[in-house]
Amino acid sequence: MIIVEHASKRYVKYDDTPMLATRLMRLHQRSERSELWAVRDADFTVQGGTCLGVIGRNGSGKSTLLRMLAGVTAPTTGRVAVGGRVAPLIAVGVGFHPELTGRENVYVSGAILGLRRPDIDRRFDEIVAFAELEKFIDTPVKFYSSGMFVRLGFAVSVAVEPDVLVVDEVLAVGDLAFQLRCIERMVAIREAGATVVVVSHNMNAIRRMCDRVLVLHDGLTRHDGDAASAIATFHDLLGEQREMDGNGLDGGDVEVDRHGEVERFELLGADGAPARHVAVGEECTAELRVRFERDVAGCLVGATVLSEWGVQAYGETSDWADLHGFTAGQVATFRMRFRAQLAGGSYSLHAGVVLPSGVHLTPIPVPVQFYVDGRSRVNGIADLDGRFDVVTE
Amino acid sequence: MTIRGETGFDLGGGPVPARELLGDLWRARELIGILSRKEFLVRYRRTSFGLIWAVALPLLQAIVLAVVLEKFVRFDTAGNYVVFAFAGTVVWTFFANALTGGVGSVTDNSGLSSKIYFPRAVFPIVSTLSGLYGLGITLIVLAGLSAATGDGIGVRLFLLVPATALLVVLATSLAAVAAALQVYFRDVRWIVTAILMPLFYLTPVIYPLDAPEVDSVRRVVQLNPVTGVVEAFRAATTGAEAGAASTVWVTLGWTVLAVSAAVALYRRHDRVLVDLL
């Protein structure tokens, strides 16, 4: 069980590391400090058996919150209390020493994670088997490959049977088979009644594992609810941020010959309402409303969907044979209907009004961030709606 | 609602109760043991002679002392001068190593402490205790020398046990205080080094407490926290000197002071030290 009551964490940053001399002479005592509230007024209670997800952009306070939950650092104000043993799930072996053998490191690392010697003795074979290092367990770990190192670190980490398991963005290490075993293990730990706290940028993992998700933004808890609504909020915030940062696309290398202004750019779900969270295969609409300031003889609209990593998942423009002309002062709404045949994950929708030459007629609108609630077991970008069957002869 | 239990935590902005802090440290005793052993063993890994170094170096130290000090700087001492000087050197070496090694123990382990919590005082404690293996070997050499040159293995050799305990507690708590301060002020490491240099000469390591040469600074030597430990070691090996008992009291006073300072510091800073690493 975790209790967090109005917890805030302040970091005092010195422009330089604090120096004894400056402190003693009381020089620049105020001016050199700058304060940062990394987490502000976090307030929630989590019961055992829950998987709590924490999402937010980099610098939103996720890691600080996680460190408080792990007991690594105390809140500046408020309270953070955890009943039972907290263990972090850490990829890099905790306290591993390169000169020591795998076996010796298991004992050192286990002790650091709070395991008693008899506990380690009892689970030793299980740890080695999980890491698949039976043959190399008496080799100094400096001879290990990075994969072996990570597997052993993980194996010790998951052998701890904690009351609260804290997982910080570690679902991306090791090969796929190993990742699956780690997730299985986390599920088992949770089914045993433990609380699992997961911080991740991987929305699919969050969606699949978490019953409850907090969205942090600038240290504030902006949302506390089920995964789907949290992920939608998160994508809204991403959009807001893009707007504040100016343009989402690197507009620098795009040629714009301004003929008008985008009044609205929106992604609509099957129900016609703006959506940030769509189901796989959902009939969606990209809607772009443009007010023309000059006459345009003929233009095209284009839309592009980029994956989280900036890979183009899809892109299409309207038909050349169908060029429309507009006059100054006219307002036009362009729509593109499409099916979200995408694997689960975060995507961004981009659109623009262009001349056949590729020159943009309006400044590029801020992309819409959205999440596709994909089918489990689908990897990649496209969801081709595969079906499996088998015929025996 | 209290939910802390034996292994959990309940943190607000204020200092941690001393009982909780010491309780957590006590529960970390197995960890302290394992880490200390690792620190000691790692030192000799991949050396051809391995642990032989741990035995050979203190022996060599005793031989060097015997040859050099006996020939050049012979003071008038109660028992055998080599044993006399060796007893002092053993204490000083452990104390100085504990402080120079311990002062950076928290800052140097930032990788570990930013990921997982255990009482931060574990670092300086481990740093000091890992020296205990070496000290144990040295003490055997010392006891052997004392027995060989003095009047055999006597009951007073057992004084080494409380004397060693006093040395370890004093050195550990001072190291813990220095390690915490080092997080805030990175000058502390060099301040410790600077203090240790003159302190060596203000400790009766190679000279007896009552040597006429130290008349001018005797007051300082007597108030030196290490003096009492050295005198206790001497009492165990070569026989007590005049004025030895009072210096042991002074050391006890310092030790109580150092332990209280360490507890006070870690109560307040244990869970926030990591913010500055």
* List of E strands, chain B: 9-11
Q: How far apart (Å, rounded) are the C-alpha atoms in residues B102 and B84? A: 27
Nearest CA in chain A to B12: A79
Residue of A19, A108, A112 with shortest CB distance to B116: A112
CA A254 to chain centre: 29
Q: How far apart (Å, rounded) are the C-alpha atoms in residues A69 and B77? A: 60
| Residue ranges of A 59-98 with Cβ closer than 8 A to chain B | 67-68, 70-88, 90, 94-95, 97
A98 neighbourhood in chain B, CB within 8 Å? none
Q: How far apart (Å, rounded) are the C-alpha atoms in residues A69 and A58? A: 18
Query: Given a cut of 70, is residue A248 above it in pLDDT?
Result: no
Q: Is A1 on the interface with B (CB under 8 A)?
A: yes
Q: How far is the alpha carbon of B98 from chain A, nearest alpha carbon, in Å?
A: 21
Q: How far apart (Å, rounded) are the C-alpha atoms in residues A236 and A244? A: 13
Provide the 3-class DSSP secondary structure of residue A53.
strand
Q: How far apart (Å, rounded) are the C-alpha atoms in residues B256 and B263? A: 11
Residue of A82, A83, A88 with shortest CB distance to B116: A88
**pLDDT tens digits, residue range A259-283?**
888 999 999 999 999 988 899 999 9
Residue A247 has a pLDDT of 46
DSSP per-residue codes, B53-104: HHHHHHHHHHHHHHHHHHHH-----SS-HHHHHHHHHHHHHHHHHHHHHHTT
Q: How far is the alpha carbon of A164 from chain B, nearest alpha carbon, in Å?
A: 9
Provide the 3-class DSSP secondary structure of residue B47.
coil
Backbone angles phi, psi at A301, to 5 degrees: -115, 145
Query: What is the dihedral sign for C-alpha A206, A212, A215, A216?
Result: negative
Q: How confident is the model at residue B32 (pLDDT cuts 50, 70, 90)?
A: very high
A154 neighbourhood in chain B, CB within 8 Å? none
Query: Given a cut of 80, is residue A154 above it in pLDDT?
Result: yes
Task: Find the helix or strand (DSSP H, E) in which B260 lies.
Answer: helix B244-269
Residue B211 has a pLDDT of 82
Residue owning tokens 């659109």? A351
A116 neighbourhood in chain B, CB within 8 Å? 30
Q: How far apart (Å, rounded) are the C-alpha atoms in residues B179 and B107? A: 8
Residue of A74, A95, A99 with shortest CB distance to B45: A99
Judge contact between B172 and B164, C-beta under 8 A.
no
Q: Give the closest residue to A351 by CA, choosing from A307, A387, A306, A309.
A: A306
Cβ contact, residue pair B116, A113, below 8 Å: yes
Contacts of B146 (CB under 8 A, 6+ apart): B80, B83, B87, B157, B236, B237, B238
A351 strand-pairing partners: A303
Residue A20 has a pLDDT of 61
Judge contact between A87 and A160, C-beta under 8 A.
yes
Q: How far apart (Å, rounded) are the C-alpha atoms in residues A94 and A153? A: 7
Global ipTM:
0.81
Query: Given a cut of 70, is residue A243 above it in pLDDT?
Result: no
Query: Given a cut of 70, is residue B224 above it in pLDDT?
Result: yes
Query: Given a cut of 90, is residue B226 above it in pLDDT?
Result: yes
| Interface test with chain A among B21, B108, B117, B272, by most A beta carbons within 10 Å | B117
